[in-house]
Structure 1
């Protein structure tokens, strides 16, 4: 009978799949190494097993111990599978930018999940690097994995992923393209492939907010490049020991928006449901297209499953909130269509300034139209009210009509967005849209900015 003794024996030997429509403009054979076929649905299963087995062998991890790791989710899943089979406890420390699906999945397989803020320095005691180390020092019989500097990470890909790709392409691979996070995959695969053929090019995909590309090109670790970004699983604000820059021929950076958009395109155009870093890799691949020739064989690695991003990149509302959804905004009605059912908040001429302030605070808005029995007669915004308060501390008890400005311009639903934009000035921060049913809606500068693609 042909069966595996446990789930860990099913890790590896993932398929290479030819990409077609999404890479039509690339004049080469492009193959995707689809790592979602691993039991934990990501490439990280490979190094999770290797890191644990090596730690067991040299005594760092003892029977019944607790494994502790900072993870974006996928390494945690791989570690969880091994922990279940081998009888260890697991604590995963994650940043709050990771998808809820990743956190829920880890809890489902028995891990304790600790969530830390994203927007802090790596050395900050609240960072997931620092919290991981602290928990390891406080927890008896524990082992801190540290996938960033644990060289078993790269070794797993040197021993497994690299040889698989070489065998599957019959040694014809010319380029390997992969997102870089901990650096284990690009360094392990890159080392193996270059040992077989030094002419194979190794390209890393980086993201804006990460230090890899500039460091590779200049040797400068530029802290000015570090800022928060949305893309998951690639990029870093540190230099992990697993990143061997000498093996990497170059990097290209991909924006958060492009990574998200191309993640969805892979599913719709290739029927491959994979995660955020795969989208970044495909966009990066297209940015590198001038490097590829007709006879080249380009392998791009897809890290993980799209199921971990259904609440993010595969959610229209999430994409729309960040301006990532590719919608054609040409008219006023396009700007307001997603919140057209919301009530227009107004204030009457005889109401007090304090009433307007209370409404702004309650509804989290900055501008309010002023009405009387005849219709719109004025407007107030937070800047007006602030100036009035500075001039007169008792302004809160005055009627709105004494501090209001001019009424907001009114446009029709079909007014071109270019015409709407021209109505915004230093003196005017909003435009009203006539809904043609006796009611109105408001467009603010924020709405216009949000519609920019």
Structure 2
């Protein structure tokens, strides 16, 4: 069977040492917060299935109610316990290092705080500030890596973590991608809880695929006890986990949903126990996550929207009286400045712009007399040359372009300072290391309104203005700030509020 990039036998989960809690009673007192991990509620949905014309009963496993806020608490604690039992981790001495999209890191930082370990988390830059701040509050040290770095690149979070594990004395890489405790934690707990709650009678389980320990572990246990159950994996476009391989064909390179999808096949993935795959997009996943919050009162994260959207597609095949379980992996806490923000959603066209007929300027189109021209910088420049250009331009922002004039990102002194102070940056690095590649922009060909620009300025200090040429190259033509917008409004002799 295929697991990872080579044909190897999957872990024999049935023969592993097991830790199974009694589920028919709750402890009155826990010795520490780690003992509160698991036994999360299974909740029947009332509105979304009806609105989507599903005939079956749909239940959600509320993993965001774990102490660290996600399903990853389960594997983090299990990996730590296993390493301690084997003498690999020694409290007060060992250093835990882990590459993660954030939630496993939070689970490990939680365990490290309770059990007295130094903890270093290697995290892609894409991940939310909320995850970063939670990790820091738990006492973890953080190293950020480029989001676009492929898993085998020396700059990826996986390769940087491996390098650190070799360099730092007493460092241990628990390695969630290859650690048997990843699927084993779900084989022993998550799956057992689902089966207990539904009296061993479940027809479909839908799980988002990341490291794939959740879906593989749950699938192995449930198929042992309930062979009829269909296991559905949910994988975003831009990832390669799904089968058949042609499902993964896509021009998507970066997606907004965090915690699912990879550009390699983890050892923790066992594709043979997954019956069906559903591919998802940000444009359907994120609005569905908002619906789970607004319509069902479930304070879940973005990947929960992916799993739920996938479940809606897959569960159309189920009949009345059949049961579908959807695992909601993490919490709203991680995304307060991302998909929870209306402006963030609007800027990505995942949510329509609000109407505002009271403001005379709201529906006017952006024109060149409103924004400031932007200075461009060749991508081949050095960081020192870029800083000199920034000073000469008397501007806070430069647009970085390739040899065809296409915008590649923006350069700001603030981003350079943050990288040098908080990340592994050096002025000897190439300019590419200092470019802001995720920024807010509007394209003139799309006729952006001043209302759209104003909403973006609620969450960003500037908006880059671009204009596609006749062959489709997106060229930067301007920069717009709140000051520019207010100057235009006041110059027309009217107040911003229309009075």
TM bucket, shorter chain: 0.7 to 0.9
Do 2:70 and 2:103's aligned partners in 1 also have CA atoms closer than 8 Å? yes
**Matches of 2:489 and 2:171, distance apart in 1:** 66
SS in 1 for 2:244: helix
Tell me if 1:242 matches 2:271. Answer: no
**Matches of 2:80 and 2:250, distance apart in 1:** 36
Q: 1:324 to 1:169 in 2, by over 3 A?
A: same
Q: 1:87 to 1:364 in 2, by over 3 A?
A: closer
Structure 1 segment 409-420 matched on structure 2, within 5 A: none
**Matches of 2:100 and 2:362, distance apart in 1:** 39
TM-score by length of 1: 0.74
Aligned length: 373
Do 2:89 and 2:172's aligned partners in 1 also have CA atoms closer than 8 Å? yes
Tell me if 1:11 matches 2:7. Answer: no
**Matches of 2:341 and 2:64, distance apart in 1:** 20
Q: Which residue of 2 aligns with 1:396?
A: none
Tell me if 1:312 matches 2:338. Answer: yes
Tell me if 1:231 matches 2:231. Answer: no
Q: Which residue of 2 aligns with 1:210?
A: 239
Which of 181, 185, 193 is the matching residue for 2:222? Answer: 193
Tell me if 1:43 matches 2:71. Answer: yes
TM-score by length of 2: 0.67
**Matches of 2:363 and 2:258, distance apart in 1:** 30
Do 1:206 and 1:235's aligned partners in 2 also have CA atoms closer than 8 Å? yes
Which of 50, 62, 65 is the matching residue for 1:34? Answer: 62
Q: Which has the larger radius of gyration?
A: 1
Q: Which residue of 1 aligns with 2:205?
A: 176
SS in 2 for 1:212: coil
**Matches of 1:260 and 1:67, distance apart in 2:** 33
Q: 1:191 to 1:4 in 2, by over 3 A?
A: same
Give unpaired runs (5+ residues) of structure 1.
348-357, 366-381, 384-407, 414-423, 441-453
Q: 1:68 to 1:221 in 2, by over 3 A?
A: farther
Q: Which residue of 2 aligns with 1:132?
A: 161
Q: Which residue of 2 aligns with 1:22?
A: 48
Q: 1:109 to 1:294 in 2, by over 3 A?
A: same
Tell me if 1:91 matches 2:117. Answer: no
Tell me if 1:291 matches 2:320. Answer: no
- Once the two structures are TM-superposed, the CA of residue 258 in structure 1 deviates from its matched residue by 1.4
Q: 1:364 to 1:278 in 2, by over 3 A?
A: same
- Once the two structures are TM-superposed, the CA of residue 169 in structure 1 deviates from its matched residue by 0.7
SS in 1 for 2:155: coil
Do 1:211 and 1:226's aligned partners in 2 also have CA atoms closer than 8 Å? no
Tell me if 1:266 matches 2:295. Answer: no
* Per-residue CA distance 1:173-192 (angstroms, 9 max, x = gap): 11000101001110111100
Q: 1:65 to 1:364 in 2, by over 3 A?
A: closer
Do 1:136 and 1:143's aligned partners in 2 also have CA atoms closer than 8 Å? yes
Q: 1:294 to 1:135 in 2, by over 3 A?
A: same
**Matches of 2:295 and 2:35, distance apart in 1:** 32
Give unpaired runs (5+ residues) of structure 2.
1-26, 374-391, 400-404, 407-444, 451-467, 478-487, 494-499
* Per-residue CA distance 1:146-169 (angstroms, 9 max, x = gap): 101111100010011111100001
**Matches of 1:146 and 1:60, distance apart in 2:** 13
Do 1:210 and 1:225's aligned partners in 2 also have CA atoms closer than 8 Å? no
**Matches of 2:80 and 2:213, distance apart in 1:** 15
SS in 2 for 1:31: strand
Tell me if 1:114 matches 2:143. Answer: yes
Q: Which residue of 2 aligns with 1:82?
A: 111
Do 2:363 and 2:449's aligned partners in 1 also have CA atoms closer than 8 Å? no
Tell me if 1:100 matches 2:126. Answer: no
Q: Which residue of 1 aligns with 2:20?
A: none
